[in-house]
Chain A
Amino acid sequence: MDLILVNLIDGLVTGLLLFMLSAGLTLIFSMMGVLNFAHASFYMLGAYFGYQISIALGFWMGLLVAPLIVGVMGAAVERYGLRRVHQYGHVPELIFTFGLALLIEELVQFIWGKNQMPYDVPDILNFTAFAISGNSIPAYKIFMIFISVGIFIGLLYILTKTRVGMIIQAALSYPRTVEALGHNVPLIFMGVFGVGTALAGVAGVIAGPVLGTFPGMAFVLGSIVFVTIVIGGLGSLWGALVASLLIGWITTFAKSYNIEMENILNAIGIATPENMDENLFRDFWSLTSPQIADILPYILMVLILIFRPAGLFGKRTQ
């Protein structure tokens, strides 16, 4: 029972982190129709900037300043890069953001090298918050949860209760109309892109110490983020939330409980074959849940695509 609680917390941390990334991605996609392949790259930049700033000014300054820098960079990318490519269509836009992701990864390697950075949890948070039957829950993880939830509540408030939020919501669906009403839609686009990437930056700053700060981090998380929004349904924020939490919990539980395929197959009546070493399906038989934990999101995505192509909450149905 207690193990379940531990996994719930762990899964929640992962899920919320995923949501921070997929929310920004969804916002950008809903508004501009472009899926920002480089989104996870901004997450990575957040981690690296956070690390760099924390060396000089401490973790908290990093948490404050790094997302701002990332957000400004994101806005610049939109203004000078994406806007230029937009005229050629959606596919070139995707290719551009892909090239950007490539370039950012090379840039990071160029500046900081290929090794993992010693980006650590700040001392003030480096203790055990509480323990559940022997499993200690680090205070940092609780901190991550609080920050994430805090940001969402803030975002939700801005989007639904403020005038700017209303304009953004309107521009999400009818940018031309909003422009005709006198609002500076290009500026809104730039702002949304900047905020979206800044969100990714925040995720990077707080995840860097836990998940590791290294040049491959963008790609590792990036593909999961895309899977998340496909499962949740492209363009749906609620879908992104549900899918993120789902994936966070599924992968955590799969890793924690060692469910063996052999046991499942035996339970439904298929006997273990005699000579396992020669058996063609030996890999299948020896599958354990921790092994496939990381590819479960992909399997889920394929299943959703076959049976419910629009995703769980998808708006853009064909």
Chain B
Amino acid sequence: MSDTDPRTDLPEGARPKEQLKTDPTKPAQRMGAGTMTITLLPWIIASIAMMVLPMIFTNNSALTIMNQMSITIIFALAYNMLLGQGGMLSFGHAVYAGVGGFFCMHLMNMSDFFAMLPLPVLPLFGGLFGMGLALIVGAFSTRSAGTVFAMISLGVGELIAASSVIVVAFFGGEEGISGDRTYAQPFFGVEFLQQQEVYYLTAAWVIISAALMYAWSRTPVGRMANAVRDNPERAEFLGYSARWVRYYSFVASGFFAGVSGGLFAINYEILTEENLNAASSGIILLVTFLGGVGFFFGPIIGAVVFTLVQTVLSLETELWAFYAGSLFVATVMFFPGGLAGLIMMHVPAFKLGKAKLLVMPYLKTLLPAALGILGLCALVEMTFHYRHGATGDNEMTLFWTTFDSHTLLPWIIAGAVALIGIAIARKTAPDLKDAWNEANTAGGGS
């Protein structure tokens, strides 16, 4: 019933966790141990922000990007119900979003039924179908946790994605299934022809879904999901079947994934095999982990940042996926708390009122480091262009300058910037470390 860790021969639950350096007389700062009350303020601010954004960014491409962010946010939050809250790593979660989306597309094409349905309700159906699939798959996949669960999720995900090319009736084969959202029942006169109308629909669903998922994490089953994640054996001896807790989390996660699929259907009016495949599953893992699995808002940050990288950065360079991959590996190795973890790391300093101490050291270290990294990126870009550019096409544009990648000067400049930037950063890093320790210790100094 228990797994022993091959390296320590201890039961899994007994692995010593990293100790915090918090002052015992101050309240704890990590999310799971902090205050548990639901404060409404962040939610109100977020809602207002979402309502106001389209008035600031009015062009359609900005709206499209924001919609893409919203869909990814819901999907990432749903994924984190498994990964961050439940400790379950799934490599095949896209299928629940995809299947939910496909069902919604079929509903769109059932003209009689669809004409009676107000469009805002459609994602609900997506959620129900995603949940349905999760009910079936979870029945056998949640028997285990950890590595076995991950492998099962990969296999099942691949099975469904591969089946999609075979079962043309449901998945539409190569072309997928497309539809038209405007044939729904008009919702208070709105037919959702305008991108802005779709934005508000999506935004409403984001707020509602996020609020529901947050509330879930505050319910008995949500709390026990955390418990089962940290120590399944202990949870069993508290009267809870770890297996059932995981199952319920899995099903709930499938529901919200399906909601994101339904919103995808509304936004893009087409679903293809791409929505189901392992690449999509991999992306949501990247997004969620990058944002930070230990905090509720982590996946939200990850979704926003990744969407920006994917849409904006991809316009600048062909290598954006390479950078994303490198960032991901760096995150896993050096700051596994993700971006949210990085942010929350500063909370103790803020609470002590000593955050100001960090500003100068950060500038002195991070600025050169950033320049150094940009220098490295320049070298990478030039190498790529040199190697794969069309013969004769020696010119490339980088950082608003056009130059010939086959001459030596740009390489020297980029190399120098990289070296100098990193060298300065390394030199000032110890000062940053000292400032950090100073900012995190209580007491104003004698």
Residues on the B chain within 8 Å of A89, using CB = 15
Q: Is the beta-carbon distance between B162 and A294 smaller than 8 angstroms?
A: yes
Residues on the A chain within 8 Å of B147, using CB = 29, 33, 35, 90, 94, 234
Is B21 positioned at the interface, with any CB of A under 8 Å from its CB? no
Q: Report, as a range, how many residues of chain B touch the other chain.
A: 35 or more
Which residue of the partner chain, among A91, A100, A219, A316, contacts B329 with CB atoms under 8 Å? A100
Closest to B143 in A: A309
Main secondary structure of the interface of A (DSSP, over half): helix
Q: How far is the CA of A301 from the CA of B331 in the complex (A)?
A: 32
Residues on the B chain within 8 Å of A94, using CB = 89, 147, 150
Is B268 positioned at the interface, with any CB of A under 8 Å from its CB? no
Q: Is the beta-carbon distance between A31 and B6 smaller than 8 angstroms?
A: yes
Q: Is the beta-carbon distance between B89 and A95 smaller than 8 angstroms?
A: yes
Is A64 positioned at the interface, with any CB of B under 8 Å from its CB? no
Kindly supply a per-residue 1/0 record for chain A positions 287-318, scoring 1 wherever the CB is within 8 Å of any chain B CB and 0 otherwise. 10001101100110110011001000000101
Q: How far is the CA of A234 from the CA of B152 in the complex (A)?
A: 12
Kindly supply a per-residue 1/0 record for chain B positions 84-95, scoring 1 wherever the CB is within 8 Å of any chain A CB and 0 otherwise. 000101010000
Kindly supply a per-residue 1/0 record for chain A positions 193-234, scoring 1 wherever the CB is within 8 Å of any chain B CB and 0 otherwise. 000000000000000000000000001000100110110001
Within 8 A of A (CB), among B86-112: 87, 89, 91
Within 8 A of A (CB), among B146-171: 146-148, 150-152, 154-156, 158-159, 162-163, 166-170
Q: Is the beta-carbon distance between B332 and A306 smaller than 8 angstroms?
A: no
Residues on the A chain within 8 Å of B154, using CB = 223, 226
Which one of A15-23, A106-114, A160-168, A246-254 is at the B interface? Answer: A106-114
Q: How far is the CA of A225 from the CA of B356 in the complex (A)?
A: 52
Residues on the B chain within 8 Å of A229, using CB = 151
Which residue of the partner chain, among B140, B146, B162, contacts A298 with CB atoms under 8 Å? B162
Residues on the A chain within 8 Å of B91, using CB = 98
Q: How far is the CA of A103 from the CA of B326 in the complex (A)?
A: 6
Which one of B28-36, B193-201, B317-325 is at the A interface? Answer: B317-325
Closest to B150 in A: A94
Q: Is the beta-carbon distance between B151 and A98 smaller than 8 angstroms?
A: no
Is A176 positioned at the interface, with any CB of B under 8 Å from its CB? yes
Q: Is the beta-carbon distance between B166 and A292 smaller than 8 angstroms?
A: yes
Is B26 positioned at the interface, with any CB of A under 8 Å from its CB? no
Is A152 positioned at the interface, with any CB of B under 8 Å from its CB? no
Q: How far is the CA of A161 from the CA of B143 in the complex (A)?
A: 39
Which one of A45-53, A79-87, A117-125 is at the B interface? Answer: A79-87
